[in-house]
Amino acid sequence: MPRDWNLLSEAAQLAVSQAAFTKAAETIAHQAELLAAEIEAGGLHDRGGPDALRLLAAVVRIGQTDDHGMAASLGCA
């Protein structure tokens, strides 16, 4: 595979970009869940953070699911 981004075909650029987006979304969602758990365990001061962080995790993951992703991610389905 070429090392220069511009030498990649459009299909390859799209595939690499999608893989990077998927990895980034999962990393952000996972970190939000870890922070929520740390708040619940008492390691960080709770200012309503766990629910907000879990909402962030669900919203980030929406792009990785089907049309019903939001309801399922939020536990509504």
Domain ranges of the chain: 5-73
Half-sphere exposure of 58 (CA within 13 A, CB side): 16
Higher pLDDT pick, 47 / 76? 47
Give me the pLDDT at residue 72, please: 47
CA distances in angstroms from 29 to 13, 40, 62, listed in the order given: 24, 17, 10
Q: What is the mean pLDDT of residues 48-64?
A: 76
The mean pLDDT value for 54-68 works out to 70
- Per-residue model confidence (pLDDT) at position 64: 65
Distance CA 67, CA 77 (A): 12
